[in-house]
Chains A and B, each alone.
Chain A
């Protein structure tokens, strides 16, 4: 018997001038695993945050079990049996599993009877769904996979009938993914409803019985999973084939401008994230680095750009050693030697969002002529320079005095790109250049990168978007668990082959 448990009608949500959800209609049936798929920035997470009461829709209705409800906070959602497991876990690290789960639901001033009951209920839940969690372990001692289970257990304990999982596999190893899927299937068998948000086609085909596709804030299709295939879904998701076939001349790779030998890098927690990596980038080529988020790409980029210390191995720029574990150039010295870096996270690292646009347009180059003379900033030259490159890179609005946080994501990204590309670097490191950027800007950014390559710049492109890597790169290397697990010329290579490498299967 199929009956809808969750119905969304005409949901709209805007953030400023960004229309994140447009007239969304969605029906989810009881006891199913329903996939919602779409590219990054398609509006999946926004939609589910509305269902979980984190955001309020501008218009539209939400029905649970046929009854219209008003969700003003996650509390309302929990009461209505909706639970959510976020991409970033909401756990107190130094609390135990038990303490985390009863947080906010302690029910008594001095722990006693209720706590005992909670323990028993939780152990029952663990048994039913084979979660295999020790309630007394501290969160900080648990692996990512287990933390996610704690989140699931928390939702179940609070009476969730509908469980929303937002990109649950982004941070998991393949084994952990298998375990998670087992748990999700057993939840389904017990009659729970699961909504799986993902941008990975393989997970949809594996796990779901129904799938909805989102693109640029709109719902573009619903179908039973058995009636579709990956190719069809991919087409619906992307909705364009422009991006996949950029006009690109034949590669004319020159001498090696940038190389990395046997590089090992640790993160802030002293975990080795980059393991014995070798790379070579030639002038006039784009080397694409593909991989699932969290496989060491971030640390690699930071080490290459001088932000993070090298544990062992060497980095060479134009044949000269610039960094090893003993001596290393800082980001500014590397810039002077012709290495530019567009960081992965523009708001955390690439920009000071409280600065005015012109201040960000000289960021990192502010101590150079003509921007500063004997430490005094040359306001007039900075402004005229800013106007010029804002026009050249089509940054909108073209007002150098506007505070940067008032620009859209795409225009913020253009501010960084224009700053870094304008110096005509010999080597360019680019991380996630189009994350959260609208389609128009994506094509513009891609075209600029191709232009740079044609002018002889050696480019390293790090991206989690396989499409992007495939459409831009001349050569592709795949990173998994800190190691380079494969290298391919970008001819006749399929996303399937790369996908298998990225998943660490081959």
Chain B
């Protein structure tokens, strides 16, 4: 098939139709899995939709997951604009959480809103610092960030286990976690807000970090497309030679991009520590850092795409757990597989049907134009 003239493809075809087709295909294949497992795919879809939208707490859970995916998705996207494959979001989030906790516990004498702001800054600084080392090695030594960031995930995990067992463990308890933060420092949850309006609902982990996720999305959009820094990062990412020619330092931009990326991943710690656990629990990033890669790829590394992609994964997480409750043949791992299929179709096989779809629409539009 002859390649289509890219300039003639309308934006909504490449940015809406193609991802939707890929998603539909992924869901069809997932349906097949469920069918083979001996359950009714139609019923499973109904359960997913009920679980994630059907009642207020379920929907709150969906948005809570969305919050985490937005942070890690944005983190991956920022680095990717500089063509850096930062798969260390998991570790950066973990260390970011440490930053949140240390700041909150040590500055508890300050007014609460200031503690919150400082804790958010702590998350960013700690996450960025954890990303800085691989960034520095990439910029000066050419050590590939894919290798170093994944190793830093392991180092972060080991370091945190060491800290949680031997250094900052709550000694009155057996588990590997810290003491809880003072109650007044906890982020107001969705439940608290609802009760302000006299609505009584049950617990859900959704909290005001969701607003922080929206702010972070706006920040990333502004940074990447509206500032000199974003412009320079993209120039380095697309054509390093040209960047050097224009007097843009690849060294500086690799480090800046990675640190911003790490800082965004660190914000996951704000949601988890201030919003949900109120202490550091071993393994709290729970794979969000990795799923963020899929979220970013699916959202085409643009905040406007990342938000709906994060929401979709939120639906899958929340709806998926509902399904596993009600369908004995479907395990949690089934939904890991479903996620895998979505990543496969929207990431790795992203361009599988793109030429066909694009030329279909281009031909259609040409016929319309000439008629």
Which A residues are closer than 8 A to B by beta carbons? Answer: 16, 305-307, 330-333, 335, 341, 343, 348-355, 359, 363-364, 366-367, 372, 375-377, 379, 402-403, 405-406
Q: Does B184 contact A (CB under 8 A)?
A: no
Cβ of B155 to closest chain A Cβ, rounded Å: 33
Are B226 and A364 interface neighbours, CB within 8 A?
Answer: no
A363-B235 contact, Cβ under 8 Å, with A307-B244, A330-B247 = yes
A359-B231 contact, Cβ under 8 Å, with A349-B241, A351-B239, A352-B242 = yes
A350-B245 contact, Cβ under 8 Å, with A372-B228, A375-B228, A406-B7 = yes
CA distance A330 to B238 in the complex (A): 21
Q: Does B35 contact A (CB under 8 A)?
A: no
CA distance A402 to B11 in the complex (A): 12
Question: What would 23 A/B residue contacts be, using CB atoms closer than 8 Å?
Answer: A305-B245, A331-B244, A331-B245, A335-B247, A348-B239, A349-B239, A350-B245, A351-B239, A351-B242, A352-B234, A355-B235, A363-B235, A363-B246, A366-B232, A366-B246, A375-B228, A376-B226, A376-B227, A377-B227, A377-B231, A403-B6, A406-B5, A406-B7
Q: Which residue of A lies closest to B246 (CB)?
A: A364
CA distance A403 to B6 in the complex (A): 9
CA distance A372 to B228 in the complex (A): 7
Q: Does B229 contact A (CB under 8 A)?
A: yes
B245 touches which one: A364, A372, A376 (CB < 8 A)?
Answer: A364
CA distance A367 to B226 in the complex (A): 12
CA distance A375 to B227 in the complex (A): 6
CA distance A302 to B203 in the complex (A): 64
Central interface residue in A331, A355, A363, by most chain B CB within 10 Å: A363
Write out the residue numbers on chain A whose beta carbons fall within 8 Å of the beta carbon of B5.
16, 406
A349-B242 contact, Cβ under 8 Å, with A402-B7, A403-B6 = yes
Write out the residue numbers on chain A whose beta carbons fall within 8 Å of the beta carbon of B246.
331-332, 363-364, 366
Are B238 and A354 interface neighbours, CB within 8 A?
Answer: yes
Central interface residue in B7, B238, B246, by most chain A CB within 10 Å: B246
Q: Report, nearest first, the 7 A-B pairs whose CB atoms are least far apart.
A: A332-B247, A364-B246, A331-B247, A406-B7, A352-B239, A354-B238, A375-B228
Write out the residue numbers on chain A whose beta carbons fall within 8 Å of the beta carbon of B229.
375
Are A352 and B244 interface neighbours, CB within 8 A?
Answer: no
Write out the residue numbers on chain B whose beta carbons fall within 8 Å of the beta carbon of A402.
7
Are A352 and B245 interface neighbours, CB within 8 A?
Answer: no
Write out the residue numbers on chain B whose beta carbons fall within 8 Å of the beta carbon of A355.
234-235, 238
Cβ of A343 to closest chain B Cβ, rounded Å: 6
The tally of CB-CB contacts under 8 A between chains A and B is 74
Are B241 and A377 interface neighbours, CB within 8 A?
Answer: no
Write out the residue numbers on chain A whose beta carbons fall within 8 Å of the beta carbon of B231.
359, 366, 377
Write out the residue numbers on chain B whose beta carbons fall within 8 Å of the beta carbon of A375.
227-229
Q: A333-B247, A352-B234, A363-B235 are in contact. List 15 more A-B contacts (CB 8 A).
A: A16-B5, A306-B247, A341-B245, A349-B242, A352-B243, A359-B231, A364-B248, A366-B231, A366-B232, A372-B227, A375-B227, A375-B228, A377-B227, A377-B231, A405-B6
Size of the B side of the interface (Cβ < 8 Å), in residues, is 21
Are A364 and B247 interface neighbours, CB within 8 A?
Answer: yes
CA distance A363 to B228 in the complex (A): 11
Write out the residue numbers on chain A whose beta carbons fall within 8 Å of the beta carbon of B7.
402-403, 406
Cβ of A18 to closest chain B Cβ, rounded Å: 12
CA distance A379 to B227 in the complex (A): 10
Q: Which residue of A lies closest to B249 (CB)?
A: A330
Cβ of A349 to closest chain B Cβ, rounded Å: 5
A366-B238 contact, Cβ under 8 Å, with A331-B245, A332-B247 = no
Write out the residue numbers on chain B whose beta carbons fall within 8 Å of the beta carbon of A349.
239, 241-242, 245
CA distance A354 to B244 in the complex (A): 16
Q: Which residue of A lies closest to B5 (CB)?
A: A16
Write out the residue numbers on chain B whose beta carbons fall within 8 Å of the beta carbon of A351.
239, 242
CA distance A331 to B235 in the complex (A): 15
Cβ of A365 to closest chain B Cβ, rounded Å: 8
CA distance A376 to B248 in the complex (A): 16
Central interface residue in A330, A352, A375, A379, by most chain B CB within 10 Å: A352
Are B242 and A376 interface neighbours, CB within 8 A?
Answer: no
Cβ of A75 to closest chain B Cβ, rounded Å: 21
Are A377 and B247 interface neighbours, CB within 8 A?
Answer: no
Q: Which residue of A lies closest to B239 (CB)?
A: A352
CA distance A375 to B232 in the complex (A): 11
Q: Tell me the residues in window 69-103 of chain B with beta carbons closer than 8 Å to chain A beta carbons.
A: none
Are A367 and B242 interface neighbours, CB within 8 A?
Answer: no
CA distance A352 to B83 in the complex (A): 13
Central interface residue in B235, B238, B242, B243, by most chain A CB within 10 Å: B242
A376-B228 contact, Cβ under 8 Å, with A305-B245, A406-B6 = yes
CA distance A349 to B247 in the complex (A): 11
CA distance A264 to B211 in the complex (A): 58
Write out the residue numbers on chain B whose beta carbons fall within 8 Å of the beta carbon of A341.
245
Write out the residue numbers on chain B whose beta carbons fall within 8 Å of the beta carbon of A331.
244-247
Are A379 and B238 interface neighbours, CB within 8 A?
Answer: no
